[in-house]
């Protein structure tokens, strides 16, 4: 599921870049790996016996990405389609309970800062030997999913295989080829299958967030905020990943053992806050229109719509990992945004749980027992993932605070029009304000009860990316 994408430009010594470096020190985020983990990462992997290198896979990622978790090949199959989705086989490199495994359990996820990322695995693995880079043989977990003419799943096969990607593609280039009608069939089918899966998502009540990337541009020692709207190809690619995650969940549920990504329905309070944010950003949200319908109507190319889509990610904060075993299914098996059972399994280079999910699916698909090293870690994995997710959330929140402070650092004392979108229950003079322009959210502290859901003229009292977060007071 999406996170907020923020990217900054500028020299390393620029105030915002320096503040991000200081933030990593403050949070104790270390980029380096222990020597013993690096030594293990240099060992040769265990190669699978099934050879699928004749299939011309391609990867689809941002142009600068080198940690490539997934490669795909799409083809017609009778009146339907065949989706082959190769996932980097991290377990082929990592020894259970070894130095790499211990370090992965400590890190849990790749951490994304606006200026760099702190990887889950050493770069020589995540951007080298395990990455599905083009023209190199790689061990993979290969999913083969057959679909009918409407995009519904007919059959699923998962096995270990040796694969070889033929091309590293990016979203803009793929979009141009598909729009121009010059894409060859395996790539052209991305649109056809992606749109079928999007229609099925709408029918089951699911919702995919097309979250724009925020870019912070430095010019003459000031910062400007811009958004990069995703291409339709981003969404079609996400549908292939969702398809695989749903197939993984179904395999686990049928096998009686698994780890699902679950999300209960958002509480009324969270939806109410989002409605107030929509009002602040002049987005019309009639009460008879559902959240899913509203999101599908938004245009991420419009800055206020883009800002609202960023805030929509707050409804995903209740997501967690749910373990079950021996056929005892949990009370909640679905992810409310997917509107179906779902599992994280397609990003093992960047997320710890995916390696375990792949092993459970491989066992379920072949009728073999789940490996002991997987079952031994299963009960503690949700807490480990929750801890890592909280850390990633802290990084995201702190980065957003720094970015917003950088954008407003020269405007302390100015007044802005905003809307009060949240008020603390025990301190009704303290809350959150959403500015109309720029589309920034900040803390507001007054001396009287704040008018929740109402427009308010506010004054910026502090904004320093090196020391102080953005703060407002009623004007």
Q: What is the pLDDT along the chain (475 residues), one digit of tens a residue?
A: 445 567 776 666 667 788 888 888 888 888 899 999 999 999 888 888 899 999 999 999 988 899 999 999 999 999 999 999 999 999 999 999 999 999 999 999 999 888 888 999 999 999 999 999 999 999 999 999 999 999 999 999 999 999 999 999 999 999 999 999 999 999 999 999 999 999 999 999 999 888 777 777 666 666 776 677 889 999 999 999 999 999 999 999 999 999 999 999 888 788 888 888 888 888 899 999 988 889 989 888 777 787 788 788 888 878 999 999 999 999 999 999 999 999 999 999 999 999 999 999 999 988 899 999 999 999 999 999 999 999 998 888 888 888 888 888 889 999 999 888 888 878 989 988 888 888 788 889 988 889 888 889 999 999 887 666 889 999 9
Q: Could you tell me the maximum CA-CA distance found in the chain, to the nearest angstrom?
A: 70
Give pTM, 2 decimals. Answer: 0.88
Structural domain boundaries of the chain?
Answer: 5-264+318-407, 411-474
Alpha-helix runs per DSSP H in 256-380: 268-280, 291-297, 303-312, 352-366, 372-378
Count of positions (residues) in the chain: 475
Q: 321-360 as b/e, with b when 16 or more CB fall inside 10 Å?
A: bbbbbeeeeeeebbbbbbbbbbbbbbbbbbbbbbbbbbbb
Q: DSSP string spanning 137-152?
A: EEEEEEEEEEE-TTS-
Q: 269-294 as b/e, with b when 16 or more CB fall inside 10 Å?
A: eeeebbbbbbbbbebebeeeeebbeb
Q: In DSSP terms, which residues pair with 118 in a beta bridge?
A: 111
- Sign for the pseudo-dihedral over CA of 176, 179, 183, 185: positive
Say what the pLDDT of residue 2 is: 47
CB 9 within 8 A of CB 215: yes
CA-based nearest residue to 177, from 235, 229, 134, 232: 232
How far are the Cα atoms of 197, 344, 408, 437, 439 from residue 416, in angstroms, in the given order?
A: 43, 42, 11, 8, 11
Say what the pLDDT of residue 220 is: 66
Backbone φ and ψ of 254, nearest 5°: -70, -35
How far are the Cα atoms of 213, 222, 402 from residue 407, in angstroms, in the given order?
A: 16, 7, 9
Residue 340 carries which DSSP code?
A: B
Backbone φ and ψ of 145, nearest 5°: -125, 115
CA-based nearest residue to 467, from 25, 24, 27, 22: 22
Please state, in angstroms and rounded to a whole number, the distance separating the CA atoms of residues 279 and 68.
39
CB 134 within 8 A of CB 57: no
For domain 411-474, give the CATH number: 2.40.50.140
Number of helices (H), then strands (E), in the chain: 13, 17
Token output for 235: 């969404």
Say what the pLDDT of residue 468 is: 65
């Amino acid at each position: 599921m999406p996170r907020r994408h923020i990217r900054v430009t500028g020299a390393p010594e620029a105030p915002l870049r320096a503040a991000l470096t200081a933030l990593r020190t403050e949070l104790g985020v270390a980029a380096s790996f222990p020597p013993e983990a690096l030594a293990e990462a240099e060992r040769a992997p265990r190669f699978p016996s099934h050879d699928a290198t004749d299939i011309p896979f391609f990867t689809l990622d941002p142009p600068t990405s080198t940690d490539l978790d997934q490669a795909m090949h799409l083809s017609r199959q009778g009146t339907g389609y065949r989706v082959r989705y190769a996932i980097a086989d991290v377990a082929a490199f990592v020894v259970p309970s070894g130095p790499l495994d211990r370090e992965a359990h400590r890190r849990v996820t790749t951490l994304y800062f606006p200026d760099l990322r702190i990887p889950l695995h050493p770069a020589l693995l995540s951007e080298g030997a395990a990455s599905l880079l083009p023209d190199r043989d790689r061990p993979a977990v290969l999913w083969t999913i057959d679909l009918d003419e409407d995009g519904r799943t007919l059959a699923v096969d998962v096995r270990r295989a040796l694969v070889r990607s033929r091309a590293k593609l990016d979203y803009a280039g793929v979009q141009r080829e598909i729009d121009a009608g010059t894409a060859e069939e395996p790539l052209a089918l991305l649109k056809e299958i992606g749109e079928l899966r999007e229609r099925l998502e709408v029918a089951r009540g699911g919702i995919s967030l097309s979250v724009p990337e925020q870019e912070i541009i430095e010019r003459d020692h000031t910062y400007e905020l811009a958004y990069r709207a995703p291409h339709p190809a981003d969404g079609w690619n996400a549908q292939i990943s969702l398809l695989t995650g749903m197939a993984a969940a179904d395999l686990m549920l049928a096998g009686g053992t698994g780890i699902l990504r679950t999300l209960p329905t958002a509480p009324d309070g969270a939806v109410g806050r989002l409605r107030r944010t929509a009002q602040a950003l002049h987005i019309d949200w009639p009460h008879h229109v559902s959240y899913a319908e509203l999101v599908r109507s938004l245009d991420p190319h419009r800055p206020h719509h883009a800002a609202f889509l960023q805030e929509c990610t707050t409804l995903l904060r209740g997501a967690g990992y749910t373990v079950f075993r021996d056929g005892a299914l949990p009370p909640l098996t679905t992810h409310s945004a997917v509107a179906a059972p779902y599992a994280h399994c397609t990003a093992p280079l960047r997320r710890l749980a995916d390696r375990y999910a792949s092993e459970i699916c491989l066992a379920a698909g072949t009728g073999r027992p789940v490996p002991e090293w997987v079952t031994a870690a299963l009960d503690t994995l949700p807490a480990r993932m929750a801890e890592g997710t909280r850390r990633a959330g802290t990084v995201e929140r702190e980065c957003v605070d720094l970015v917003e402070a950088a954008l407003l650092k020269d405007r302390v004392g100015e007044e802005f029009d905003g809307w009060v979108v949240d008020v603390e229950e025990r301190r009704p003079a303290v809350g959150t304000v959403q500015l109309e322009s720029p589309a920034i959210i900040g803390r507001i502290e007054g001396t009287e009860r704040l008018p929740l859901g109402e427009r308010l003229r506010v004054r910026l009292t502090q904004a320093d990316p090196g020391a102080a977060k953005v703060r407002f007071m009623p004007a």
